[in-house]
């Protein structure tokens, strides 16, 4: 089967192909688009890394504050326990002993009338569960 093209039809077909060829992206515009896509991907990756770093930093800060709050609550409880033990001891309860706790280290301050009483107070404080160390700043009255 033979297809006959007339000159006007052929001209229209060639002209149409030329228009389509002109609309097709050339190598330069394709390269530019690929570069733009590459830059966009890098920007998204960098933004993702920045957000991850900020999230890690915020999480670390929250965890440190929670740990500090737990320690603070634990210290307050430890101080209360030591004060209770000292108040319950009939040999010690008449003396004003300052008790402070910091991460399991209990500091005792005050004046007592004898070295034997000082040792008794230190033993009482050391007997409390959670006390890791007693910092003795007690003085014996002369």
Domain count, the chain: 1
CA 7 to chain centre: 78
Q: Flag whether 23 is in a domain.
A: no
Would you say residue 1 lies in a domain? no
Range of the domain at 70: 30-140
Residue at 16 is within a domain: no
CATH number of the domain encompassing residue 130: 3.30.1340.30
Q: What percent of the chain has pLDDT over 70?
A: 82
> Within a 13 Å sphere around the CA of 89, how many CA atoms are in the beta-carbon half?
21
In a domain, 48, yes or no: yes
Q: Poorest-confidence range of 5-19, 23-37, 54-68, 89-103?
A: 5-19
Rounded distance, CA 92 to CA 112, Å? 9
Tell whether the model's pLDDT for residue 108 goes beyond 70: yes
pLDDT digits (tens, 9 = 90+) for 66-77: 888 777 788 899
Asked if 136 and 118 touch (Cβ cutoff 8 Å), the reply is yes
Residue 12 counted as domain residue: no
Is 90 inside any structural domain?
A: yes
For residue 68, give the nearest of 103, 100, 105 by alpha carbon. 103
Rounded Cα–Cα distance for residues 64 and 72 (Å): 12
* High-pLDDT (> 90) share of the chain, %: 37
pLDDT one-digit tens code per residue, 116-139:
999 999 999 999 999 999 999 999
In a domain? residue 61: yes
The answer to whether residues 107 and 81 touch, using CB atoms and an 8 Å cutoff, is no
The number of residues making up the chain comes to 142
């Amino acid at each position: 089967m033979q297809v006959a093209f007339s000159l006007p039809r052929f001209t229209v077909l060639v002209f149409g192909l030329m228009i389509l060829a002109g609309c097709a992206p050339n190598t330069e515009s394709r390269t530019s688009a690929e570069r733009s896509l590459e830059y966009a991907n890098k920007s998204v990756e960098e933004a993702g890394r920045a957000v991850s770093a900020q999230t890690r930093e915020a999480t670390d800060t929250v965890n440190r504050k929670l740990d500090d709050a737990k320690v603070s609550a634990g210290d307050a409880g430890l101080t209360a326990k030591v004060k209770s033990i000292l108040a319950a001891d009939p040999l010690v309860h008449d003396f004003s002993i300052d008790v402070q706790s910091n991460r399991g280290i209990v500091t005792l301050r005050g004046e007592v009338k004898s070295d034997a009483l000082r040792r008794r107070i230190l033993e009482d404080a050391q007997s409390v569960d959670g006390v890791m160390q007693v910092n003795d700043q007690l003085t014996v009255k002369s």
